[in-house]
Amino acid sequence: MTPTITIHTDLGPMSLPEQISLEDALHHILSLKPLTPDQVATAVNGTFVPRHARAQHILQDGDAVLCFTPITGG
């Protein structure tokens, strides 16, 4: 059996494999939303994680992952 972690999302708790990157977790999270990874900004435990850093950001048990659509304007 593969060890898992539980992360918290706006869709509720989600069980994922240990040592999963934020980039890989996004595919699981966004499979439940009509968005792609390029369409969202991400934060883990309230800290912004830029797109280029997602593959290196390994999630930990209990992390809160937020995916949101960036808003621009003037």
pLDDT for residue 74 is more than 70: no
Instruction: Tell me the percentage of the chain whose pLDDT exceeds 70.
Output: 96
Q: What is the mean pLDDT of residues 28-38?
A: 88
Say which residue, 44 or 34, is predicted with more confidence.
Answer: 44
Class of domain 4-68: alpha beta
Taking the CB of residue 42, how many other CB atoms lie within 10 A of it? 22
pLDDT for residue 4 is more than 80: yes
Instruction: Quote the DSSP letter at residue 19.
Output: T
